[in-house]
Every structure is written in C-alpha cells, then in structure tokens.
Chain A
Amino acid sequence: MGDLARLARSAAVWQGLAGIALFLALWQVGGALHLPMLRHVPTPLEVLIQLATQVHSRQYWQSWYVSGQRVFLGYVIGVGLGVPLGLAMGMSRTFHSASFPLVEVLRPIPPLAWVPLSILFWPTMEQTIVSIIFLGAFFTVVLNVLGGVEAIDVNYRRAALSMGARPWHLFWKIVLPATSPSIFTGMAVGMGLTWEIVVAAEMIASIQAGLGFMMWQAYVGGNIALIIVSMASIGLAGLLSSGLIWMLGRRLTPWLRRT
C-alpha cells in the first residue's frame, strides 16, 4: 500500500499520465483531420467503445487469463531454474567452465526459433508455448545472476571469513543478498521478454485462446479497433507484471532505497 500511495504522490507519475493523455489527444485530432496515415485507423474514442464492449465479454478476460497463465508458468520455471544455475556458475569455477560455453551458444538463439523443434519435442501445443516462454526468461535470469555474483567485491568475502563465517554463512549472508539486485533486474527484464514471446507464439501456433490469438482473429476478421484493444491489453499486461517484479524487488532490497 505504501508503494501505491507513493506512486500517487509522485510528480513523475502524473507527468507520465499527462504524456499518455497528450498522445491520445493528438491521435484523436489527427483522426478528425483525416490525416492520410490514420485513414484506416479508428480514433481513440472508437477504440474505447470497443474496449467497453470487450470488458463485458467473457472471451476477452479468458484471453487475459490464458496468456497470463502461460507467461506465469514459463516464467516461474525459468526463474526457478535460472537463479540457482546463475548462482552455481558464479560460485564454482569448474561448473562455470563446463556450462558457460553451452549457455553462450544457446542463448543467442531467439526463443521463437525453438518453435519447430519444440513442437516435435512436447506432446501438446500448450507445453510448446510454455517451454519457449521458459527459454526467454531463463537465459536472461542466468546471465544477470551470474554477472551479479561475479561483481561481488572480494573484500566482503574476506571480511566474512575473518569474522569466522562458515560456507553456508557466505552463501546466505553474502552471496545471496549481494546478488539480489541483479536477480531482480534479470527477473524484470525476463518478464518483459515473456510477454513478447507469448504473443508471437500465439500468433504463429495453432492455438485457440490468448491475447495474441485474439489479435490475430481481429486481424483476420478486419476488426481494427479490436486489434488496438488487444495491443493495448498486451502492453498493460507487460507493464503490470514488470511493475509487480520491481515492487517485490524494492521490498526485498531495502538497503538500496535512498532517503
């Protein structure tokens, strides 16, 4: 609650909202003036009307739910495996040497490039989509966590050893808290990626629900206002979930707050 109250008091938040309002106003005026680029694009008002009908439809919320569920599953597994792997790579030289080259070869492959192989690999399309969302979150988290561990000042470890710290102390009291800002950065960046991936996957895969699917249906059916509603929904979903991660990160790294 404290976070929300702070947001409401922040001038930056109101300035940001004013920027969005200005954007919508220019778009509305441009539509009214019949600018050539905007000839086939509905005005914000028409989009708003479309949104008003959509919020009453079960199918719209179903799309949110289905996409959200895919993102959540793939993301949670990606973070759940990525954080321990990144920590292990950062702490063990041997494990780093053995795994880093493999990670570096696999990482540049765009998650969507895994689709054809994943279809063969996983029995259902649903699992295929979750698995490529997983890949997107996983590599981002691994690299950020690894970078975080490697950046820990050697003197923290030395100070702890001098004070008689045992190996588990070093992990729980030094490595984990020192790395946590990087963990949350990786998680927030990874979260953004997962929404990109889920939409693209829903558009190319033969699947019957989700925000990406809804947009593709609207495109096929020629409902341009619904395309824009879908786009805005995807943007909002990404914003909300990244915001959640940042808030969680803020809460768990209280020493980074500047008064």
Chain B
Amino acid sequence: MSPGGGALSIRNVGKVYDPDGAGVIALDDISLEIGAGELCVVVGPSGCGKTTLLNCIAGFDTVSAGEISMDGVVLAAPGRKLAPGADRMVVFQAGALFPWKTVLWNITCGPVLSGRLSRSGAEEQARALLARVGLAGIERQYPGELSGGMKRRVEIIRALLNEPRVLLLDEPFRALDALTKIVMHEALLELFDLSHKTIVFITHDLEEAIFLGDRVAVMTTRPGRVKKLITIDLPRPRDYRLLTTARYRELKQEALEAIHEEALKAFVAGERELA
C-alpha cells in the first residue's frame, strides 16, 4: 500500500435523477474496488454515468443507494456526503484553470490558501514539476496564452500539488489532437510513476484506457453498471512503442468486444430518443 493511502471502495452505488418526477437512472448497482496507488480507467459510451460517478466521489453530487468510501471513511451514502476537499482532486473535462490568475498562482493556490505550504515553498515545488513536464518558463503567463496540451499539464500539476489521496480525471484529453494526446499520456504516466497517487481516469477512448490503466472497467450504457473488468498486465514504464505490441492488441480486442455491444445499445437508444 502506498504511504498516501487512497484506496477507494465503491459498493452497490446507484444514482437516480428525479428532475420532473420522471426518475432517470444514471448509475445502477455499481461496485468497484480500487487499490491505493492504482490507475483505474473507467470506459463507457457517452451518457453512461461516468461523470456522475466521479462527481459522487468528489463530493459534488449525492448517491441514491450504496456507499462510496476511501481508506475506510465514508465519502457518500444516501442522504449524506463528505464535502469536496483536497484529498480528492478533480481535473475537469473542459478545464477549470482560473483565467484571471497566472499559471504559478493557479498551481500554488490550493496549498497556499489552505495554509499548508508557504508561498515560496509551493512555488518551488510548482517550478520543479513544470520543468519535469517540459513547461519551465511559463509561470507568469495566463492560461489563455497556453495551448490545450499545456493547460492540461498545468491543471494536473495543480491537482498534484494539493497532495490528494486520489486524482479524479474526467476525460482530460478529450479536446486534444491525436499527436498531443500521445505526449500527454506519457507526461501523465511520468507524473503517476513519480507520485503514485490513486488515479480514477474517465474516458471513452479505448486505446487511451489500455495504454494508461492498471485495470480498465468497461461500463454499460445507461443505466451505468460495470460490465467487465480487464486487468492490463503491460509492463511499466510504458511508452508509445507499446501501442504496436501483440499483447496490447489482444487486450484491445477483448475490451473492444465488451464496449462495442454497449456502444451499439447507446446508439440504438439515442435513435429511439430522437424518434
């Protein structure tokens, strides 16, 4: 077990949205045990409730059934939830760097505002991590001046500097082009090997899931359930050459079969909704 803890236990979690009395089941009896220091990827078609699950872990949303706990402490159960905190950092799909602050302020604000680190101490760590992912020298720039790939790296560093026990990544590389994505994956894995935080990574990109994960959980289309759990036994450290190995292709084949069925169901359901 890694010293930082961060073992997540998701047991029989259900989530029903009831906006106008018509209950929409977003999550249905999801169970998943994620070990401390594990990089677990959750894959599923759009609208399968992946983001809902993440919001429940982060403390932004409540669950309707079941229980989520971390290192034995209940994070969410029907009728109660632990407020969001630095132990569970989220990196959002659309990005949430504060545009009105510099890169350095963005990265250091968490530990500085909470009083955990001095400003100079936090800045020193920030500079070291920026240099690590090839972004030295951008400290005084505003997020609006950075490319998409740079922003995502800055945002992951910001999350790491808060010393979370678990890092929640919600399709962080969705908006990036394929080439930038490969570089980002390697940067993320480098930071992962460095910090060994528990990571829950959400995506609908299968190749990304296999390349990054220790395990891949394939979710069913709405209502969301875990359909298949695949252990990715590819050696670390990983780099892009892995993408052409036989074992990688086998794993992809296995995952593809599971997800194709679900994607088809989601497609048909979408057609029905439109009709």
Contacts and interface: CB of A to CB of B under 8 A. Distances in A.
Interface of A: 153, 155-156, 158-159, 161-166, 169, 173-174, 177-178, 180, 253-256, 258-259
Contacts of A164: 85-86, 110, 113-114, 162
A177 B145 CA distance: 18
B50 interface: no
Interface residues of B, number: 27
B86 A163 contact: yes
Given A155-B94, A159-B92, 14 more contacts: A153-B94, A158-B60, A159-B90, A159-B98, A162-B84, A162-B90, A163-B110, A164-B113, A166-B113, A173-B98, A173-B101, A177-B101, A178-B100, A180-B100
A155 B96 CA distance: 6
Nearest to B99: A255
B109 interface: yes
B165 interface: no
- 5 nearest A-B residue pairs (beta carbon): A163-B110, A177-B100, A164-B114, A159-B96, A155-B96
B84 A158 contact: yes
A253 B84 contact: no
A162 B88 contact: yes
Contacts of A255: 99-101, 142-144
A67 B47 CA distance: 60
Interface in B77-131: 83-86, 88-90, 92, 94-96, 98-101, 109-110, 113-114
A155 B55 CA distance: 11
Contacts of B98: 156, 159, 173-174, 177-178
A178 B89 CA distance: 22
Nearest to B100: A177
B42 interface: no
A163 B157 CA distance: 13
B58 interface: yes
Chain A interface helix/strand/loop/mixed: helix
B49 to A, nearest CB: 18
A162 B94 CA distance: 16
Contact of B162 (A156, A163, A169, A256): A163
Nearest to A153: B96
A166 B86 CA distance: 12
A117 B58 CA distance: 55
B145 A162 contact: no
A254 B86 CA distance: 29
A167 to B, nearest CB: 12
A173 B102 CA distance: 12
A181 to B, nearest CB: 9
Nearest to B106: A159
30 contacts: A153-B94, A153-B96, A156-B96, A156-B98, A158-B58, A158-B60, A158-B84, A158-B96, A159-B98, A162-B85, A162-B86, A162-B162, A163-B89, A163-B109, A163-B113, A163-B162, A164-B113, A164-B114, A166-B113, A169-B113, A173-B109, A173-B113, A178-B98, A178-B100, A253-B100, A254-B142, A255-B142, A255-B143, A256-B144, A258-B144
Which of A153, A158, A159, A174 is most buried by chain B, counting CB atoms within 10 A of its CB? A159
Nearest to A157: B96
Nearest to A161: B84
A255 B95 CA distance: 17
Contacts of A254: 142
Contact of A158 (B90, B100, B114, B144): B90
Given A156-B96, A158-B60, A255-B142, A165 B113 contact: yes
Contacts of A156: 96, 98
B100 to A, nearest CB: 4
A224 to B, nearest CB: 51
Contacts of B143: 255
A161 to B, nearest CB: 4
Nearest to B102: A255
Contacts of B89: 162-163
Interface in B136-166: 142-145, 162
Contacts of A178: 98, 100
A174 B113 CA distance: 13
Contact of A162 (B58, B95, B99, B142): B58
A87 to B, nearest CB: 16
Contacts of A163: 86, 89, 109-110, 113-114, 162
A156 B106 CA distance: 11
A161 B55 CA distance: 13
